[in-house]
């Protein structure tokens, strides 16, 4: 298996898995938000914010995938990665792929709970935001690990 195939597999891993996590999380939150909005449409802004929060994982996966596209020479040409470099790109993508997927699932559940809490009392919005954002820390950690690996691969001689 050549290095470029491994790099492309990494691109797919980062974007697809993190995207699945975000899609599931945002979808779950949107279902709850629609129920709240059917009763009180004035809460649209708050519901939108709480619904969008699980979507960041997909963005992180996209950024990592895009960086691999550039660094591996798929976009803009350049030297193709060695097998070792391709494997390093794939390993770097695994962190945000799985970290993004599982944190997207968890953040979606937290968002559903936050939305239901705000439906009972709008004053709970900031509490819901804090609770939902706590899950984001783990997506950010996965993103940082992936980012550090991907930007260091071009100097890797393997």
Once rounded to an integer, what is the mean pLDDT over residues 24-40? Answer: 96
Once rounded to an integer, what is the mean pLDDT over residues 65-70? Answer: 94
Of 102, 93, 87, residue with least CA distance to 64: 93
User: CA-CA distance, 69 to 76, in Å (whole number)?
Assistant: 9
User: CA-CA distance, 111 to 29, in Å (whole number)?
Assistant: 6
Once rounded to an integer, what is the mean pLDDT over residues 85-102? Answer: 96
pLDDT tier at 79, thresholds 50, 70, 90? confident
The structural domains of the chain, ordered by start, are: 3-155 (1.20.120.610)
The per-residue pLDDT for 93 is 97
Burial class (CB in 10 A: 0-12, 13-18, 19+), 129: middle
pLDDT tier at 78, thresholds 50, 70, 90? confident
Average pLDDT, the chain: 93
Q: Does residue 65 carry a pLDDT above 70?
A: yes
Burial class (CB in 10 A: 0-12, 13-18, 19+), 90: buried
Burial class (CB in 10 A: 0-12, 13-18, 19+), 137: exposed
pTM for the complete prediction? Answer: 0.91
pLDDT tier at 158, thresholds 50, 70, 90? low
The per-residue pLDDT for 1 is 65
The per-residue pLDDT for 74 is 82
Tokens of 94: 């695994």
Once rounded to an integer, what is the mean pLDDT over residues 89-100? Answer: 96
The per-residue pLDDT for 154 is 83
Of 98, 113, 91, residue with least CA distance to 60: 98
Q: How many residues does the chain have?
A: 158
């Amino acid at each position: 298996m050549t290095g470029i195939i491994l790099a492309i597999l990494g691109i797919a891993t980062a974007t697809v898995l993190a995207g699945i996590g975000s899609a599931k999380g945002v979808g779950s939150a949107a279902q709850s938000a629609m129920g709240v909005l059917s009763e009180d449409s004035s809460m649209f802004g708050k519901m939108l914010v709480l619904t969008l929060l699980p979507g960041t994982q997909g963005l992180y996966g996209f950024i990592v995938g895009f960086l691999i596209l550039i660094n591996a020479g798929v976009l803009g040409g350049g030297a193709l990665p060695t097998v070792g470099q391709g494997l390093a790109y794939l390993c770097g993508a695994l962190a945000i792929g799985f970290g993004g997927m599982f944190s997207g699932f968890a953040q979606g559940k937290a968002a559903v709970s936050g939305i239901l809490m705000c439906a009972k009392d709008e004053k709970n919005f900031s509490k819901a935001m804090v609770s939902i954002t706590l899950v984001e820390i783990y997506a950010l950690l996965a993103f940082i690990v992936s980012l550090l690996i991907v930007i260091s691969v071009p100097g890797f001689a393997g």
